[in-house]
Amino acid sequence: MKKVFVLCLVFLVFSFITVTTVLAEESQQNSLSNMSLIEKSEKVEESKKFREEFGLNMNNEHILEVLLSKNSSYKYGVALTMEEEKEIDRRVYNQQNIIPLIKEYIH
């Protein structure tokens, strides 16, 4: 009887975590569609500033497409494609690990 109770409890906890995660992701996507035009414009401008600083695609259509995509990453605070995220990850890695070696070699 204890095994059945424990299995049911584990199933309920797992189900709760899964549903909560799915709802949170949907909420993030729906929040953009519920935004006013001004708020969307602010998100686009915020993304443009970030993208300009990092040399990424600043085309308004591309930015809106990324903002509306379910596959977008917000790891750096703005909506990015997975490829853009990987590119920034690569740059951060190089800055933290490769550049110090170059500086050490030069000095």
pLDDT at 22: 43
Name the residue with tokens 């009887």: 1
pLDDT at 32: 61
Nearest C-alpha neighbor of 85 from the set 97, 76, 95: 76
Identify whether the C-beta of residue 71 lies closer than 8 Å to the C-beta of residue 82: yes
Nearest C-alpha neighbor of 79 from the set 70, 97, 67: 67
Is the pTM higher than 0.85?
no
Name the residue with tokens 């951060």: 92
Per-residue pLDDT of the chain (107 residues; tens, 9 = 90+): 655 554 444 444 444 455 454 444 555 555 566 667 777 788 889 999 999 999 999 998 999 899 989 899 999 999 999 999 999 999 999 988 988 888 888 88
pLDDT at 12: 47
Rg for the chain, CA atoms, rounded: 21
